[in-house]
Amino acid sequence: MAITRVFDFLYNQKEEYPQACAVAGKQDGSYVEYSTEEFIDIANKLSLGLIQLGVKKEDKIAIISYNCPEWNFVDFGLMQLGAVSVPMYPTITEEDYRFIFEHAEVKLVFVENEELYHKVGRALEGIEGVEGIYTFEKVEGAPHWTEVRDLNQEGDPIQIKPYMDQVKPDDLLTLIYTSGTTGVPKGVMLNHYNILSNVFSVAKIFNVDGPNSKCLSFLPICHIFERTGVYAYIYLGVSIYYAESIETISDNLKEVKPDLFAAVPRLLEKVYDKIIARGMDLTGVKKSLFFWAVNMGLKFDPNENLGGFKKFKLRMANKLIFSKWREALGDNVKFIVSGGAALQPRLARVFWAGQVPILEAYGLTETSPGVSFSQLDDLRIGCVGPLLDGVEVKIAEDGEVMVKGPNVMMGYYKRPDLTEEAIEPDGWFHTGDIGELVEGKYLKITDRKKEMFKTSGGKYVAPQLLENKLKESMMIEQVMVVGAGKRFPSALIVPNFEALKEWAEIKGIKYANDKELLAKPEVKDKFDREVEKANDDFAQWEKVKKYAILQEEFSVDKGEMTAKLSLRRKIILEHNATVIDEIYQ
């Protein structure tokens, strides 16, 4: 069938490969699966109920929930009417909710649970226009989403067809508000064709037998990276299983045994660190074998033609060590998609060596999101792959990556000034990222244009490169490099206390608490060595000369990180102004 709107993916699945499990979520400890037929039936009933509630084309409906099938049901129920979804993170502030509800002129809100129901209720105080809040979980005194589903029991799905026929490929599909690392949220307008172009391109790269494959989804579906991925899964017939939470991913991987999943580098770093920590607990020959395999993996390049002896060693490493890594991921993963931030090359190498390929993707909310995507048979470590079909990239004189193609947004909602600033008259979009085309083909991102800073000596420093190198240390959990207008770069370092305590135990260092541990001269010497090691790859003016150890992690709750775990540098600088002043005294 012709696919010209996003909701066509679901009907294409029904026609091409109807699934016994199109989507599934955990309830009371067990996965509840919904077939393609059930998915369509629920979406249609929601569309009929929304019509009864007076929802019309271009009405804005908010969805605030962690990943669950109900999210998909409401999404498709809305888009079939030409209504516009406004997805939001459950973790943002009431002030942000208030701004978005007013700016987008939201008509209805769907939330997951009691906490969000009351949070949204507080945010709506004094705001007119929102006609109802519906919950996915049962909440006393709150309307449940099934009330919308059951509102028009006698309705015939044929009634929805005129609404569907009115929806065109260039109609607004969703408003995604992104504040990124700066300030006031901006409403990114994406239409059906923006998303379709990305899904069709990505689907060619996904090396899976869709109708016989499963994915585990745990990145927030309100973010365009996971959301476009979910649409691709539906198009390919991949069964979607939602993890219960970030904390249960390990258990859910073993239950679902997915063929693929998407992750952010931060999560892959944690997986790697946990594996290494287990290796540290081994003794004797087992420990030697473990780190022999890891060290081999850290030097691996998928493009290298291995000789007979190297191939033999790699086979042994996979049989003895890396097979355990694959088991921890469900023992069925064909590949992992990594996006949202730069992936450390060492992680790509070791996972590839362990027969768990990581494909890096690059893009922004404004590009739906994909710009480029690594491929299993066309990869360069450290790059984010060749460009997707129909996407053009040029590198501006100042190094900024410029993008043009069917994936580029319609603009920022009610902000023609920002739209004009972001998109040139000839269609080129300013990504704000600095990069290059390696071999004229493979896109490499080096930093955010606004995050690069100049020292007092006039030298430019790209902090992300330094931060990624520092985070290769098992002792470092988080780090932010500072130094704008200063004599040299410095770093704010949050230790990996779990790894640090294990190291202290091995070294026989006694302490009573974290503060006392950090005060030990042996610990200071250890961090000095870790920073010195990271500095090796950088020019003199780029090297981190001083650092401060922080006892508390950067967090979303304190406003120091975005919901997708990017650093909000301005906030972190404000919160640590005194510490930074002491560094440069």
DSSP for 72-94, please give it.
Answer: HHHHHHHHTTT-EEEEE-TTS-H
Alpha carbon distance 20, 291 (integer Å): 43
CB 414 within 8 A of CB 382: no
Angle subtended at Cα 209 by Cα 208 and Cα 212, rounded to the nearest 5 degrees: 120
Q: How many CB atoms lie within 10 A of CB 368?
A: 31
**Pick from 263, 209, 146: nearest CA to 17:** 209
Question: DSSP labels for 258-309?
Answer: -SEEEE-HHHHHHHHHHHHHHHHH--HHHHHHHHHHHHHHHT--TTS---HH
Q: Which domains does the chain have, with CATH numbers?
A: 8-167+206-262 (3.40.50.12780), 453-584 (3.30.300.30)
Closest C-alpha among 427, 409, 406 to residue 187? 409
Cα(21)–Cα(238) distance, integer angstroms = 9
CA distance linking residue 425 with residue 427, whole number of Å: 5
Q: Can you give the pLDDT at residue 37? A: 98
| Cβ atoms < 10 Å from Cβ of 417 | 9
Closest CA to 264 of 563, 23, 557, 495: 563
Peptide linkage before 369 cis (omega within 30 of 0): yes
Q: In angstroms, what CA-CA distances link 204 with 231, 322, 371, 555? A: 14, 28, 14, 37
Q: What is the DSSP pairing of strand 476-482 with strand 490-495?
A: antiparallel
- Tell me the pLDDT tens digit for each residue of 43-62: 999 999 999 999 999 999 99
Q: Residue 120 half-sphere exposure, CB side, CA atoms within 13 Å?
A: 28
525-528: long-range contacts at Cβ-Cβ below 8 A with a sequence spacing of 24 or more?
A: 526/475, 527/475, 527/493, 527/495
Q: What strand order describes the sheet that includes 442-448? A: 392-395, 400-404, 429-438, 442-448
Alpha-carbon distance 124 to 241, whole Å?
Answer: 33
Structure confidence at residue 180 (pLDDT) = 55
What is the predicted pLDDT for the residue at 448? 80
Whether 279 contacts 291, CB under 8 Å = yes
Q: How far is CA 471 from the centre of its chain?
A: 19
Spatial distance between the Cα atoms of 170 and 192, rounded to a whole number of angstroms: 6
Q: Are 110 and 63 in contact (CB under 8 A)?
A: yes
Residue type present at position 58? E
pLDDT of residue 183: 63
- Measured N-to-C along each axis, helices 284-298 and 345-353 cross at an angle, to the nearest 10 degrees, of 120
Q: Which of 464, 477, 475 lies closest to 542 in space, CA to CA?
A: 464
Q: What is the mean pLDDT of each run of 10 residues along the chain (585 residues)?
A: 96 97 95 98 98 97 98 98 97 91 98 97 94 97 97 92 98 90 82 98 90 96 96 97 93 96 89 87 92 94 89 93 94 94 89 96 96 94 95 95 98 96 97 94 88 81 89 92 91 94 91 92 95 91 94 89 81 93 91
Do residues 348 and 380 touch, judged by C-beta distance below 8 A? no
Q: Which residues of 297-313 are buried (b: 16+ CB within 10 A; e: fewer)?
A: beebeeeeeeeeeeeee
Annotate 203-233 with three-state secondary structure. HHHCCCCHHHCEEEECCCCCCHHHHHHHHHH
